[in-house]
Each structure stands twice: as structure tokens, then as C-alpha cells.
Chain A
Amino acid sequence: GAVVSQHPSWVICKSGTSVKIECRSLDFQATTMFWYRQFPKQSLMLMATSNEGSKATYEQGVEKDKFLINHASLTLSTLTVTSAHPEDSSFYICSPYRGRGNTEAFFGQGTRLTVV
């Protein structure tokens, strides 16, 4: 399987501050990066899709100005939660996609964000 590294694994921040989450594909180049959010006892919900070097596409209901995604290289993507509020507390998971017909999706370890 592919090696995906996501950091930090958990973070606690104060309301109004911003938090950056990094996702790296260590042994392959990711043409596309998916970012998911997961609330307790629920499934993964896709937030946005980004392609290297272009703007991300956000799912309906996800604020693009609040969840900034940067996919500047084929091995690194970042998600920044800006002006975080307690309702943003969740488990965020990245999933880099290799493309070229490879349909298996691998996931990062996830980041538990708690906004106090």
C-alpha cells in the first residue's frame, strides 16, 4: 500500500485562531488530494478535491474561505482551518490519489481538531 503521512495527529486551538494540517504522500505522487471530515459515529464526508497546481473544488455547504486548501506539489497538500470555532471540531482525513487508473484510495492517519 501507499505511505501517507498526516500531521498533526491532534491539535487543540482557541476559537478564532487558524490551524494548518499537512498531508504528504511519501512514496508516490498524488495528482489529486481529497480532504474529508468525520464527526463522531459518522462516516467520512468529502469536503473538497484538489489537483496539484490548481484551485480546489469544494463540496456543497463547505466554505472555501474557511477551509483553505493548498496543493502546491505532487507530494504535499495542506488544509488550513481559518478562524476556527467549536463547531469545526472534528476528525479531518486526507486521501491522496495516484491517478493513472489506480482506483485504490489510501488515507492519512487523520487529525483530531478540538476548538475551545
Chain B
Amino acid sequence: GQQLNQSPQSMFIQEGEDVSMNCTSSSIFNTWLWYKQEPGEGPVLLIALYKAGELTSNGRLTAQFGITRKDSFLNISASIPSDVGIYFCAGQRETSGSRLTFGEGTQLTVNP
């Protein structure tokens, strides 16, 4: 079952606003990944994080690997309508090999 708590579940924002979502866990993860999924499509990798404290950007997206290795956040700046979708965090634990544990997802709606 899911062991990552992702929040918020959904967000309704105006175009141009910044967005922040996060994932927390009671377990330590070695890798944090952030994905975006659009309707009828598979998840697409946005950002991968490999070290505690790491802060990585991909255009208007910024994600950080928490110092405790038990959390991560994703920020989207100056949102645009095409940012609409479901955002998932996923983590890999040292003891689970390549298996991913997913968060419940954040549904983002951007009003023009």
C-alpha cells in the first residue's frame, strides 16, 4: 500500500499563481521523483532528486529532497493553463531496490 502522504489532494488556482505541494513519509527514501500525469496518459518524469538537501529546477518547476530524507516538495511558479494535471511524488527506498512508492497525487486546476 501507499506509504507516502501527499498534499494537498487538489488545488484550484488562477493563472500566474505559484503552487506548492509536498510528500512526507515515515520511512527514509534514497530517491525522490516527481511526475505529472495527464488524462489518458502515463506519468511523465519532471524532476529526480538523489541527495538529501538537493534542490533541482526544471524550468518553472523546483523540487527539493528533504534533509531528513523523509520528505520532498515541488513548486511550480507562474502557473499556466497547461500545468493542469495530476502530480505524483514517488520514492525509492534502499531496501526496496528499484520499486517505487507513490503518493496519492495532487490534482491541479489552473483557471485562465
Q: Tell me if A107 and B42 are in contact (CB < 8 A).
A: yes
User: Digit string of A94-113 for contact with B (CB within 8 Å is 1, else 0)?
Assistant: 01010100011111111010
Which of A68-116 touch B at CB < 8 Å?
91, 93, 95, 97, 99, 103-110, 112
Task: State how many residues of chain A have any CB contact under 8 Å with chain B.
Answer: 27
Task: State how many residues of chain B have any CB contact under 8 Å with chain A.
Answer: 24
Q: Tell me if A112 and B45 are in contact (CB < 8 A).
A: no
User: Digit string of A24-52 for contact with B (CB within 8 Å is 1, else 0)?
Assistant: 00000000101000000111101001000
Q: State how many angstroms separate the Cβ of B18 from the closest Cβ of chain A.
A: 24
- B98 adjacent to chain A (CB < 8 Å): yes
User: Digit string of A1-17 for contact with B (CB within 8 Å is 1, else 0)?
Assistant: 10010100110000000
Question: Max chain A CB contacts within 10 Å: which of B2, B35, B43, B107?
Answer: B43
**CB-CB < 8 A to B40: which residues of A?**
9-10, 91, 110, 112
Instruction: Give A contacts to B, CB under 8 Å.
Output: 1, 4, 6, 9-10, 32, 34, 41-44, 46, 49, 91, 93, 95, 97, 99, 103-110, 112
